[in-house]
Amino acid sequence: MRNSTRSGVDPFIVMDVMEAARKAEEAGRQIIHMEVGQPGTGAPKGATEALAKAMEQGPLGYTVALGLPALRRRIAQMYGEWYNVDLNPERVVVTPGSSGGFLLAFTALFDSGDRVGIGAPGYPSYRQILRALGLVAVDLPTAPEHRLQPVPADFAGLNLQGLMVASPANPTGTMLDRSAMGTLIEAAQGQGASFISDEIYHGLEYEAKAVTALELTDECYVINSFSKYFSMTGWRVGWMVVPEDHVRVVERIAQNMFICAPHASQVAALAAMDCDEELQANLNVYRRNRALMLDGLPKAGFTNIAPPDGAFYVYADVSDLTDDSRAFAAEILDKVGVAVTPGLDFDPQRGHGTIRFSYARSTGDIEEGLRRLQRFMADRGLISAQA
Ligand SMILES: Cc1ncc(COP(=O)(O)O)c(C=O)c1O
């Protein structure tokens, strides 16, 4: 049997790194995980307790396709609390993770062959999902002076039907401030391109509050998730906010593609939204880890980094050290047992000279990881041993 052309998507390289790390652990080595893009913590206690209760009370069958009305209302309320945005709950669509949101958004907005701009470096699955849907992902190489976020000049005249941004971004953790987000929205709309804002790392900010595209326009799709701030990756639940006149279109697609997001996860997610104390404690761990990384990475010789405003990543330019980030990451894992992600996942052109460090795990792990990275670089003669 043949496979479709559009199924020829690339693997997620970080998964290969995780597998190599797992094998090393199986062989008895103790590995520090700086490759993973997920919290080391689980769902907040209040969320699991609410689910335990719900499991006793009913069968947790299908919900309606747009999601539990109480959850949609609570998400809308959060926009008032976090951003002072008055949001109609009818515009909220609960999705199977933000990944499910991408499928819904791309299907609702684009026709085969449409061109969608994505910043490079960026989250790899944008490109692969677009390709699998018969759409054209147009890489927009971003500049260090724009903190690796796209600017209107990057897509002027490119005839895009869509523009996708992320703030805070993966892999860089950099954010778009209100004016940068505003000029992107204006330029995209001026070109007739639909604007999609991936806001999955909102809540994980260290200097300033992230701006939601909804503060600036209603004519956009906002995609978010319970995976990161709410620490619920495996629960597969997220949400989208869409313009009022798109709700029915998205509902019809969601009914057919997914029926609904997992009911149990929706129950847990609703309760998680009232677990701020626990979630803020997680955030404080990331804040401490980030400070350690910003101090420790340059000392270890990783001096060329984009200062991260949010998320839990640091993206480092290592092109002065290697032109093969995959081999470099494999060597770090082999020599000192630290797993990191090669930049090729995020930027097919320039990623051979970059790597991403995640600081989502415990502070003890981060301290140990930094010590080992320093040793690796000293052994390679790239820094002095007493650095
Ligand atoms: C920028 C970005 N968007 C989306 C996702 C997918 O998240 P979800 O678990 O909500 O599908 C990730 C996962 O790491 C991500 O980094």
In which band, very low, low, confident or very high, does the pLDDT at 14 lie, cut at 50, 70 and 90? confident
Please determine, for residue 148, whether its predicted confidence score (pLDDT) is greater than 80: yes
Closest Cα partner for 150 from 198, 203, 208, 205?
198
Ligand 1 shell residues, CB under 6 Å: 37, 97-99, 123, 166, 170, 198, 200, 225, 227, 233, 238
| Cα of 2 from ligand 1 centre, angstroms | 30
- Note whether 174 and 153 are within 8 A (CB): no
Average pLDDT over residues 115-129: 96
Atom 4 of ligand 1, nearest CA residue? 98
Can you tell me the mean pLDDT for 306-330?
94
Place of tokens 């279109």: 249
Report d(CA 18, CA 310) in Å as an integer.
Answer: 23
Atom index in ligand 1 nearest the CA of residue 166 equals 1
Question: Cα–Cα distance between 312 and 293 in angstroms, integer?
Answer: 10
Share of the chain above pLDDT 70, in %: 99
The atom of ligand 1 lying closest to the CA of 169 is: 1
Omega of the bond leading into 348 within 30 degrees of 0 (cis): no
How remote is the CA of residue 150 from the centroid of ligand 1, in Å?
Answer: 19
If one residue of 17, 75, 98, 174 were mutated to test the ligand 1 pocket, choosing by the most ligand atoms within 8 A of its CB, it would be 98
pLDDT in the model for residue 387: 52
Of 36-40, 191-195, 312-316, the range with the lowest mean pLDDT is 36-40
Pairing relation of β-strands 238-241 and 221-225? Answer: antiparallel
Distance 304 CA to ligand 1 centre (A): 25
Phi first, then psi: give them for residue 344, nearest 5 degrees. Answer: -60, -25
Asked if 170 and 311 touch (Cβ cutoff 8 Å), the reply is yes
Intra-chain end-to-end CA distance of the chain, in Å: 58
99 CA distance to ligand 1 middle (Å): 6
User: Measured from the CA of 238, which atom of ligand 1 is nearest?
Assistant: 10
Ligand 1 centroid to Cα of residue 167, in Å, is: 12
Of 250, 337, 304, 319, nearest in space to 35 by CA: 337
**Residue 386's pLDDT is what?**
57
The answer to whether the CB of 315 falls within 8 A of the CB of 305 is yes
CA distance 105 to 87: 19
Q: How confident is the model at residue 112 (pLDDT cuts 50, 70, 90)?
A: very high
Percent of the chain surpassing pLDDT 90:
94
Between the CA of residue 95 and those of 81, 240, 253, 269, 350, what are the distances in Å? 22, 7, 11, 12, 33
Average pLDDT value for residue range 364-382: 95
370: Cβ contacts below 8 Å, ≥ 6 apart:
292, 293, 296, 297, 299, 300
Taking residues 269-290, what's their average pLDDT?
97
Ligand 1: residue whose CA is nearest its atom 14: 37
What's the 384 CA to ligand 1 centre distance in angstroms? 38
Residue 317 parent element (H or E): strand 313-317
- pLDDT band per the 50, 70, 90 thresholds, residue 314: very high
Closest ligand 1 atom, residue 96 Cα: 11
Q: Which atom, in ligand 1's list, is nearest to the CA of 98?
A: 10
- Tell whether the model's pLDDT for residue 199 goes beyond 80: yes
At residue 15 the predicted structure's pLDDT band, cuts being 50, 70 and 90, is confident
Look at ligand 1, atom 16, and give the residue with the nearest C-alpha. Answer: 170
**Summary mean pLDDT of the chain:** 96
| Mean pLDDT confidence for 242-271 | 98
- For residue 356, pLDDT beyond 60: yes
Nearest to 164 by CA among 219, 106, 241, 83: 106
Instruction: Output the pLDDT for position 284.
Output: 96
**Closest-CA residue to 121 (of 298, 355, 340):** 355
